[in-house]
């Protein structure tokens, strides 16, 4: 029997090939040579790439038998995940491979800013000797503010505390117990900005976090403070940062990531008192080797028919066909639960599976629920392998229970979250009909049946005449098209819950106008990211 073919499309470490072992036929191609890549893909079962090879719809279609695309790194901008999923191709990456490298680069930027190392080097190399011009500042007894206290934030905390720094952090999804464990004081974003001598950002890039540090936030910082971004381009408004540096509003900045890469112009890179690097967060020999070995192991698992925990689009391996369709549903329920919980810190997550599914191994649903919950909340790419680690680091306990009785549906899955203040949030879903339509069937105790779409708005208000007309008018005037609507209530005149499905994201100011128009107790948007 012929060995499965693994195509290596970019230079990878020898340890990567060793991790694949002798069970595969290894072929190589220059992934940047498009005709050669398409020709070589034709006989491959798996392809290993880094950042230079484009695995788009055309490349995926070049071989209907392709089973795995493995990216030896974190980012997946060069992989068309939607096309791969539609073709049944598993996509894997190495989500934990670069966390130490990213943390260390962040610290490098902090030290470079504190002691003016790049500028002093350039001055001396130019034949100057200006010691007094480059007088720096000690880190000892200074305050480091971390925005996003995930795994990288925790690594930076540990290392900078060794310098004698006080660490404060803003992260609405981290519990006080987790922060206490790290020796970190949790504060508001405003407090981080006002109190910190150095600020570093480690947030995911979402519509909510894009530009989260803009003119007003930079103005709130100390004039002697520095800011560092090694996470995602666009978290800091680059034009506002350049202006703040030119005006001396802050002391300096360290930037590794940009809104467009390479930067479209030098507005930011040429600003004074800035240290810039060309997206080097994962650019260490160790991170590259870890990434290669990690995805090689995933390829072995996938081609061996086993569960691949760090698949980013599908769960592979020995999962019963009756269980598999529910994985995507549970991930989306996790996203919905996170949106409904808002900024509340989760302490417990319960997954309750009822119906015929109780007779099967549905343990993957716990991973799917955690993956969905963290999808829009952390900087890292979330996968089945790191979702439990993210939960553990945030002090979130998770459990799975099954029961054969299901009241109204063949199968139901309920996610129930307990927040740090003791309140509970809950969402239930099912797959409906022969087309297996994903539906929300319960939300915080309200019975409702809504097909899951990309954009929903949830409203909680006192039931009374004229409500539908009021929010319909606000949406209409804002150009937001309503695609569907479901209303649930427990009694006439009591509280009612409406889920509106809309065709596009709803701006925050429109949500606030809706809230005011119907005097709502709660209005929030739920945006679903497809796996």
What pLDDT score does 386 carry? 66
Residue 83 pLDDT more than 80?
A: yes
Among 292, 366, 361, residue whose Cα is nearest residue 323: 361
What b/e sequence results for 208-221 when a residue is b if at least 16 CB atoms lie within 10 Å of its CB, and e otherwise?
ebbbbbbeebbeeb
pLDDT higher at 434 or 137: 137
Asked whether the CA dihedral 149, 455, 428, 353 is positive or negative, the reply is: negative
Kindly report the average pLDDT of the chain as a whole number.
Answer: 91
Give catalytic residue positions.
Answer: 232, 261, 279
> 48: which 2 tokens?
């290993």
What whole-number distance in Å separates Cα of residue 349 and Cα of residue 343?
15
What pLDDT score does 305 carry? 67
Q: Do 298 and 70 touch, CB atoms closer than 8 A?
A: yes
- pLDDT tens string 313-327: 765 555 677 888 898
- pLDDT tens string 286-338: 998 999 999 999 999 888 866 686 788 765 555 677 888 898 899 999 999 99
- pLDDT tens string 340-360: 998 888 999 999 999 999 998
- pLDDT tens string 439-458: 999 999 999 999 999 999 99
Question: What's the pLDDT band for 380 if we cut at 50, 70, 90?
Answer: low
What pLDDT score does 311 carry? 81
**Percent of the chain scored above 70 by pLDDT?**
96
What pLDDT score does 225 carry? 98
Among 411, 428, 206, 418, residue whose Cα is nearest residue 332: 428
Question: What's the pLDDT band for 267 if we cut at 50, 70, 90?
Answer: very high
Average pLDDT over residues 154-168: 97
Q: Do 149 and 171 touch, CB atoms closer than 8 A?
A: yes
- pLDDT tens string 85-98: 778 788 998 878 88
Q: Do 97 and 290 touch, CB atoms closer than 8 A?
A: yes
Q: Please, what is the angle between helix 508-518 and helix 467-477, to 10°? A: 160
- pLDDT tens string 509-520: 999 999 999 999
> What are the structural domains, with CATH classification, of the chain?
1-94+283-312 (3.40.50.720), 99-276 (3.40.50.720), 319-451 (3.30.1330.90), 453-531 (3.30.70.260)
pLDDT higher at 207 or 373: 373
Q: Which residues contact 398 (CB under 8 A, 6 or more apart)?
A: 348, 349, 350, 351, 366, 369, 370, 388, 391
């Amino acid at each position: 029997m012929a060995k499965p073919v693994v195509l290596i499309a970019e230079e990878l470490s020898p340890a990567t090939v060793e991790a694949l072992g002798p069970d595969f036929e290894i072929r190589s191609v220059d992934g940047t040579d498009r005709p050669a890549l398409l020709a070589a893909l034709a006989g491959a079962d798996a392809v290993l790439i880094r950042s230079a090879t484009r695995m788009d719809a055309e490349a995926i279609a070049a071989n209907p038998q392709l089973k795995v695309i493995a990216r030896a790194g974190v980012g997946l901008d060069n992989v068309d995940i939607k096309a791969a999923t539609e073709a049944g191709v598993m996509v894997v990456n190495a989500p934990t491979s670069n966390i130490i490298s990213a943390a260390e680069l962040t610290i490098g930027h902090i030290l470079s800013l504190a002691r003016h190392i790049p500028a002093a080097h350039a001055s001396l190399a130019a034949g100057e000797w200006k010691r007094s011009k480059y007088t720096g500042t000690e880190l000892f007894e200074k305050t480091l503010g971390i925005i996003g206290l995930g795994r990288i934030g925790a690594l930076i905390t540990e290392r900078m505390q060794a310098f004698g720094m006080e660490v404060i952090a803003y992260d609405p999804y981290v519990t006080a117990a987790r922060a206490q464990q790290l020796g970190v004081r949790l504060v508001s974003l405003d407090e981080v900005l006002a109190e910190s001598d150095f600020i570093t950002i480690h947030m995911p890039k979402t519509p909510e976090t894009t530009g989260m540090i803009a003119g007003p936030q930079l103005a709130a910082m100390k004039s002697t403070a520095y800011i560092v971004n090694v996470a995602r381009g666009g978290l800091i408004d680059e034009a506002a940062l350049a202006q703040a540096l030119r005006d001396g509003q802050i002391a300096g900045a360290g930037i590794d990531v940009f809104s467009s890469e390479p930067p479209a112009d030098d507005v930011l890179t040429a600003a004074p008192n800035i240290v810039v690097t060309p997206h080097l967060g994962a650019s260490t020999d160790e991170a590259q080797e870890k990434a290669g070995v990690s995805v090689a192991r995933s390829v072995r698992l996938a081609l061996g028919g086993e569960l691949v925990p760090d698949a980013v689009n599908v769960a592979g391996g020995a999962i019963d066909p009756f269980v598999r369709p529910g994985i995507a549903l549970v991930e989306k329920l996790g996203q919905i639960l996170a949106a409904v919980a808002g900024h509340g810190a989760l302490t417990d997550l319960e997954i309750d599976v009822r119906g015929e599914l109780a007779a099967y191994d549905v343990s993957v649903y716990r991973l799917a629920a955690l993956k969905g919950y963290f999808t829009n909340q952390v900087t890292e790419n979330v996968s089945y392998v790191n979702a439990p680690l993210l939960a553990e680091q945030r002090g979130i306990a998770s459990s799975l229970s099954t029961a054969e009785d299901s009241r109204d549906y063949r199968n139901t899955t309920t996610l129930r979250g307990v927040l740090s203040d003791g309140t509970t949030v809950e969402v239930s879903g099912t797959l409906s009909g022969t087309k297996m339509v994903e539906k929300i069937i319960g939300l915080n105790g309200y019975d409702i049946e809504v097909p899951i779409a990309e954009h929903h708005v949830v409203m909680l208000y006192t039931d009374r005449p004229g409500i539908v007309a009021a929010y319909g008018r606000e949406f209409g005037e804002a150009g937001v098209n309503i695609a569907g609507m479901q209303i649930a209530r427990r009694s006439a005149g009591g509280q009612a819950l409406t889920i509106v499905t809309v065709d596009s994201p709803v701006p925050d100011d429109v949500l606030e106008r809706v809230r005011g128009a119907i005097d709502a107790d709660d209005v929030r948007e739920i945006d679903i990211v497809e796996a």
